[in-house]
Each structure stands twice: as structure tokens, then as C-alpha cells.
């Protein structure tokens, strides 16, 4: 082969190698750039004040940001392939797994509040978690991505506000608002399943005299004592509420007229014969009597209001015959 041709061949080969090297270098640079980009994304995620993690389709951890790693007390390498059973009590881990499986199976985003008991002080922490399916660039499901934030303070505040909105400050009983909600619910249930349902309205007799004679503060204590005595006689399913100043109501699911009447009589008598053990200050409060109106759900009732109105009428009958009595309507 002439020398010129060999030189040409060497030149072509060199060019080919140079092109290959350049391509390789470009690819290397791209990989490096991607790595750098991923590193900076990870750095960003590490600085977010939320627990961020990725799990595979078997609900095992693939990645977690620094906050999550700190919480679990593991490194990124130690985390890989582990599951929640290693970091949470069984009850919590099962709940988390249930949510994970839902996300994977239904390919749906879900949100939930999770309560976790603190190991050291027994305090309860609440986390709001959002989980959604995670797909690769070809659209194939590869697992899930989750974000959790601690909402203990908000949760406690919400519970306190809910309690304030639903309970009566003086007695701690349900207020009228929550009594109405319970009543509608129990009325619908009793109607649907043909179950008995009774209602009692209780009013303290001549209560104005108590206030006028002993003052409002003593009046308040008497209201609290009436509530306490009523509370001692009811079952867990019964709903006792303070629905007005000196007026109470008790909703009695699964209770027929006869049983409701017997309970009302027991309550009426026990308001006069109660005695709290020891030197209870309620024992020194002025005596009062109560009047009660009872009604029971009828198939003819079109709404809970009709039952309520019958109990009200029965209460007025009790007042009209001289108080300290029970009437059924």
C-alpha cells in the first residue's frame, strides 16, 4: 500500500478516535451535570421542613430527605430497602402500609392524618401525609413519593375549638348545637332500622328563685349538680346535653316509652335524694326539683322536630300539675 494511503488511513482512524473521545467526553460531562443537578435537588430537599421520601412498588424506601433520615436515625444507604415496620410501632406501620398499598394499587393521590405516640414522654404527635404514585419517564409506575408534615399543634387547636363549639362551658355536657346533630343522626338511624328512640326534656323547677335567693354563682353550681346527677344514671349510648339555661335533654337510643319513663322517674327522685360521698360542696347547695317531658319515636313522625315538640308538650304538662313530675306524650 502506498505511504500516502497509509497516512490517510491513520488520519481517518485518528479522527474517528478523536470523535469517539469527544462523544465520550460529552456524555461524561452530561452525566456529571446530571449528577450535580441531582445533588443540588437533594440539597434543596434536605432543607425543606417536611419529611420527603420515595418508596418502590413493594413499599420499601428508595430515598428520603435528611429530615426523614434524622427522624429514623439512619443514613441514606441504611435506609434503602427498609420499610416502616423498622421505624414505627406496628399499629402505625400497618396504617402507613395500608395507605402505601392504596396509592400503588389505585394509582391515586391520598392524604391522611397519622397519629404517632412519642416513645419517651408518651405524647402524641400528629402528621399530615400526602402520597402519590411515582412514574418513570416512560410512564411506568415505579413506586410512590410521599410528603409528611407535623401538624400536632394545629390538630390540638382544631380539637380544642371543636370541643368548645360542641360543649357547654358550665357543665362540660354537649350543647344544643351538638345535641341537634346527634338527634338528627339517631332519628335517621332509628327510622331506618325500626329501632326505638326516646327523648327526655328536663327543666329545673322555679330556678329563678334559686338565682334570686342565693345569687347566680350558686345557681350555676346547682345547674352543674343537676347535670352530674343526670350523668350518673345514663348509659354510654345516651346523649345528655344542656340545651338551654336550666334545661337539659337526653336522647335515649334503643329505649322504648316504658323504659324512658322509668329512667325519668329515677332521675326526678335522685335529684332530691342524691348525696355525694364525703364533704362534697354540692351537698350544701339548695335543694331543687325537676320536671320532665318524655316522648318516643312514632312511625307517624316526619322529623325529629315532631318528637321534640311532643316532649316539650309533656314537659309543660309536668309543670302545669305543680312541677316535680314526669309526663309522656
Q: Which helix (H) or strand (E) holds 86?
A: none
Which of 255/325 has CB closer to ligand GTP?
325
Nearest distance, CB of residue 306 and ligand GTP, angstroms = 23
Residue of 183, 178, 175, 221 whose CA lies nearest to 200: 183
Site string for ligand GTP, 64-83 (x = CB under 6 A): --------------------
Nearest distance, CB of residue 167 and ligand GTP, angstroms = 14
Which of 127/207 has CB closer to ligand GTP?
207
Which of 208/262 has CB closer to ligand GTP?
208
Nearest distance, CB of residue 246 and ligand GTP, angstroms = 4
For position 312 contacting ligand GTP by CB under 6 A, the verdict is no
Site string for ligand GTP, 158-197 (x = CB under 6 A): ------------x---------------------------
Residue of 154, 103, 149, 158 whose CA lies nearest to 129: 149
For position 321 contacting ligand GTP by CB under 6 A, the verdict is no
- Which 192-211 positions form the footprint of ligand GTP (CB under 6 A)? 203-208, 211
For position 323 contacting ligand GTP by CB under 6 A, the verdict is yes
Which of 211/309 has CB closer to ligand GTP?
211
Residue of 243, 113, 220, 227 whose CA lies nearest to 172: 227
- How many residues are recorded in the chain? 329
Which of 34/208 has CB closer to ligand GTP?
208
Out of 26, 34, 216, 280, name the contact with ligand GTP by CB under 6 A: 216
Indicate the Cα dihedral angle 304, 307, 312, 317, nearest 10°.
Answer: 180
Nearest distance, CB of residue 169 and ligand GTP, angstroms = 9
Please calculate the CA angle 274-292-306 and round it to the nearest 5 degrees: 145
Nearest distance, CB of residue 292 and ligand GTP, angstroms = 12
Nearest distance, CB of residue 45 and ligand GTP, angstroms = 55
Residues tagged active-site:
246
Closest residue to bound ligand GTP by CB: 245
Which of 186/205 has CB closer to ligand GTP?
205
d(CA 88, CA 98): 14
Helical residues (DSSP H) of the chain, grouped into ranges = 3-46, 66-72, 76-79, 90-106, 152-166, 176-193, 207-214, 216-231, 257-273, 304-320
Do residues 67 and 50 make contact, with C-beta atoms less than 8 angstroms apart? Answer: yes
Considering only the stretches 113-121, 215-223, 256-264, 273-281, report the one whose residues sit in contact with ligand GTP under the rule CB under 6 A.
Answer: 215-223
d(CA 155, CA 158): 5
Nearest distance, CB of residue 318 and ligand GTP, angstroms = 10
- Cell 387547636 sits on residue: 157
3-state SS assignment for residue 309: helix
Residue of 90, 92, 103, 88 whose CA lies nearest to 56: 103
Which of 255/318 has CB closer to ligand GTP?
318
Q: Return the exposure string of 34-73: e unless at least 16 CB atoms fall within 10 Å of the residue's CB, then b.
A: eeeeeeeeeeebeeeebbbbebbbebebbbbbbbbbeebe
- Which 217-276 positions form the footprint of ligand GTP (CB under 6 A)? 219-220, 223, 245-246
Do residues 99 and 110 make contact, with C-beta atoms less than 8 angstroms apart? Answer: yes
Q: How many residues bind ligand GTP (CB under 6 A)?
A: 16
Applying CB under 6 A, the residues found at the interface with ligand GTP are: 170, 203-208, 211, 216, 219-220, 223, 245-246, 319, 323
Amino acid at each position: 500500500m502506498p505511504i500516502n494511503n497509509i497516512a490517510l488511513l491513520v488520519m481517518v482512524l485518528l479522527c474517528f478516535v478523536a470523535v469517539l473521545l469527544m462523544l465520550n467526553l460529552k456524555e461524561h460531562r452530561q452525566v456529571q451535570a446530571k449528577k450535580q443537578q441531582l445533588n443540588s435537588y437533594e440539597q434543596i430537599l434536605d432543607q425543606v421542613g417536611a419529611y420527603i421520601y420515595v418508596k418502590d412498588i413493594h413499599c420499601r424506601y428508595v430515598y428520603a430527605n435528611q429530615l426523614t433520615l434524622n427522624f429514623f436515625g439512619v443514613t441514606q444507604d441504611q435506609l434503602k430497602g427498609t420499610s416502616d415496620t423498622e421505624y414505627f410501632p406496628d399499629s402505625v406501620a400497618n396504617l402507613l402500609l395500608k395507605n402505601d398499598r392504596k396509592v400503588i394499587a389505585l394509582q391515586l393521590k391520598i392524604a391522611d392524618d397519622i397519629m404517632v405516640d412519642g416513645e419517651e414522654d408518651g405524647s402524641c404527635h400528629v402528621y399530615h401525609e400526602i402520597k402519590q404514585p411515582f412514574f418513570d419517564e416512560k410512564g411506568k409506575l415505579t413506586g410512590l413519593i410521599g410528603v409528611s408534615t407535623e401538624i400536632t399543634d394545629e390538630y390540638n387547636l382544631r380539637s380544642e375549638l371543636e370541643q368548645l363549639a360542641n360543649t357547654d362551658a358550665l357543665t362540660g355536657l354537649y350543647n344544643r348545637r351538638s345535641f341537634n346533630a346527634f338527634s338528627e343522626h339517631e332519628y335517621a338511624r332509628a327510622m331506618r332500622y325500626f329501632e326505638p328512640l326516646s327523648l327526655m326534656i328536663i327543666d329545673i323547677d322555679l330556678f329563678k328563685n334559686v338565682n334570686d335567693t342565693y345569687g347566680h354563682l350558686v345557681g350555676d353550681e346547682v345547674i352543674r349538680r343537676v347535670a352530674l346527677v343526670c350523668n350518673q344514671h345514663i348509659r354510654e349510648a345516651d346523649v345528655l346535653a344542656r340545651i338551654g339555661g336550666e334545661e337539659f335533654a337526653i336522647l335515649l337510643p334503643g329505649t322504648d316509652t316504658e323504659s324512658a319513663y322509668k329512667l325519668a322517674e329515677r332521675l326526678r327522685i335522685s335529684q332530691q335524694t342524691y348525696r355525694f360521698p364525703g364533704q362534697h360542696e354540692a351537698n350544701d347547695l339548695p335543694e331543687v326539683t325537676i320536671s320532665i317531658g318524655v316522648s318516643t319515636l312514632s312511625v307517624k313522625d316526619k322529623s325529629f322536630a315532631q318528637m321534640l315538640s311532643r316532649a316539650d308538650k309533656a314537659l309543660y304538662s309536668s309543670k302545669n300539675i305543680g312541677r316535680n313530675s314526669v309526663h309522656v306524650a
